Amino acid sequence: MTDLNKLTIAEARDALRKGDVTSLELTEACLTEIEGAGALNAFVHDTSDLAREQARAADVRIKAGDAPSLCGIPLGIKDLFCTRGVPSQAASAILEGFRPEYESTVTQNLFDAGAVMLGKLNMDEFAMGSSNETSVYGNAVNPWKVDDRQLTPGGSSGGSAAAVAADLCLAATGTDTGGSIRQPAAFTGITGIKPTYGRCSRWGIVAFASSLDQAGPMTKTVRDSAIMLQTMCGHDPKDSTSADIPVPDFEAMLTGDIKGKVIGIPREYRMDGMPAEIEKLWADGSAMLKDAGAEIRDISLPHTKYALPAYYVIAPAEASSNLARYDGVRYGHRARLEQGDGITEMYEKTRAEGFGDEVKRRVMVGTYVLSAGFYDAYYNRARKVRTLIKRDFEQVFDAGVDAILTPATPSAAFGLGEMANADPVQMYLNDVFTVTVNLAGLPGIAVPAGIDAKGLPLGLQLIGRPWEEGDLLNTAYALEQAAGFVAKPEKWW
């Protein structure tokens, strides 16, 4: 077989089981591609020795007939996941040199199923960003290119998106606090799902905003997302918010039959100044689902407009608390101290040197909104608005809507550096369609659905009912089949 790195998980699984290919061959093919893709800056920590060892072990399991779906499948792992003995630094200088003594539950679940880790993937520092430009490793680069500009793969899971789109791995893990799986998936023409809050254990994933963070797969197809999500999720006693409910067989639910399903089109997502191409993509997606037998219904989610401002109170507040642990005492960077410096100077210098600008900004905004005198005005008000945003969704689901269709992003991928002089809020607007889903704890999936006039991929988002990822994936599968998106970036790297 040729181009083993280009296989989907489902194709590779079937080939492995038939004995047409070995995991070691798949793994070597990916490692070779990674070696030649330095220009994308997607992989930032090499674990090729471990990958080969895992691949050999997987081949033994497959031969013995004990092969879960992910057995022998080479994956990339976002740097936010703690992986035992392997650098895990959330793309931050403050975790330089950190090698966890433990394994995150999600990566442990993947390894227990026989998956192979090719390396750690680039991302925005502490998952704070929408363009992968805040990373200590430098920018990850989108494999899609239509002129002489280098484009962002989106963020924060930019390395994951670039790696999957460029076929450096069969799939990758991502995490999503405000859109960090779905926006980069849309920018690179791949699929990414953020499951319901509580589906995937957060244990061992470097925390950003604990009430919003969820891990999920970033894959080449909807089927692959179903397969990989299945293995990633499940109850974990080590995460007190992990849901103790059964995980259905997501792949078995992919029938493509969505007859009679009600798809909501929220009028508040039609933003002023929305590019005509995005508007058209959305209308086309709606028509495809209608043709597939779904009922399209106009709905209202009246508090949509307030989702981003509420998010930019709640997420920084939680971040300021979570990131207090980076104090130069237990792990990571400690600043060099001057004669007479005490512990306060150690904290202040360590954090000034270790955190990048965007992280500092959010930690300080979070500190401010939680500080005495402002807590009610900002933090409590934002949490009340969050209640209203969730209620908007509950009301449309109660009225019989099965899933909601929206654009995934307000534009196609933009050029690296193009937002450098914009104020921070301009960058935050990237998450305008995705952030509501995190605030309401719902599952959301981005599916590539079209190409803009320049030749860049565009994605649509489907939002599902809580815990109904299976049904959501099936609707996404129907959309994927109808959209027939098969374009790939032309190799320039």
Partner 1 sequence: MSIDKDTAAKVAKLARIRVEDDALPALAQEFNDILGFIEQLNEVDVDGIEPMTSVTPMRLKRREDVVTEGGMVDKVLSNAPDAREGFFAVPKVVE
* Residues classed as catalytic: 78, 156, 180
Distance CA(443)–CA(472), nearest Å, equals: 8
Between 206 and 245, how does the x/- string for binding to partner 1 read (CB under 8 A)?
-----x-------------------------x--xx-xx-
Size of the site for partner 1 (CB under 8 A): 73
User: Which of 390, 395, 451, 452 forms a contact with partner 1 (CB under 8 A)?
Assistant: 390
Residue 164 binds to partner 1 (criterion: CB under 8 A): no
Residue 334 binds to partner 1 (criterion: CB under 8 A): yes
Residue showing tokens 């650098």: 87
Between 433 and 462, how does the x/- string for binding to partner 1 read (CB under 8 A)?
------xxx---------------------
Between 463 and 482, how does the x/- string for binding to partner 1 read (CB under 8 A)?
---x----------------
Neighbour-count burial of 429, counting CB atoms closer than 10 A to its CB (0-12 exposed, 13-18 middle, 19+ buried):
middle
Distance CA(55)–CA(26), nearest Å, equals: 9
Q: Are 151 and 177 in contact (CB under 8 A)?
A: no
Residue 154 binds to partner 1 (criterion: CB under 8 A): no
User: Which of 187, 208, 250, 312 forms a contact with partner 1 (CB under 8 A)?
Assistant: 312
Distance CA(449)–CA(451), nearest Å, equals: 7
Name the minimum Å distance from CB 391 to partner 1.
9
Residue 271 binds to partner 1 (criterion: CB under 8 A): no
Distance CA(249)–CA(419), nearest Å, equals: 42
Residue 305 binds to partner 1 (criterion: CB under 8 A): yes
Nearer to partner 1, 256 or 302 (CB): 302
Nearer to partner 1, 172 or 243 (CB): 243
Between 173 and 212, how does the x/- string for binding to partner 1 read (CB under 8 A)?
-----------------------xxx------------x-
Name the minimum Å distance from CB 211 to partner 1.
6
At 208, list the tokens.
């950003």
Residue 384 binds to partner 1 (criterion: CB under 8 A): yes
Name the minimum Å distance from CB 318 to partner 1.
12
* H helix or E strand, kind and range, residue 54: helix 48-63
Residue showing tokens 């809580």: 466
Nearer to partner 1, 219 or 320 (CB): 320
Q: Which residues of 478-492 are buried (b: 16+ CB within 10 A; e: fewer)?
A: bbbebbebeeebeee
Q: Are 480 and 254 in contact (CB under 8 A)?
A: no
Q: Are 16 and 72 in contact (CB under 8 A)?
A: yes
- Which residues partner with 444 through β-bridges? 194, 463
Strands (E) located in 147-270: 171-176, 191-194, 214-219, 262-266
Residues in contact with 207: Cβ distance below 8 Å, sequence separation at least 6, in sequence order = 213, 322
Nearer to partner 1, 299 or 314 (CB): 314
Nearer to partner 1, 2 or 421 (CB): 421
Half-sphere exposure of 332 (CA within 13 A, CB side): 19
Residue 421 binds to partner 1 (criterion: CB under 8 A): no
Between 91 and 110, how does the x/- string for binding to partner 1 read (CB under 8 A)?
------xxxxx---------
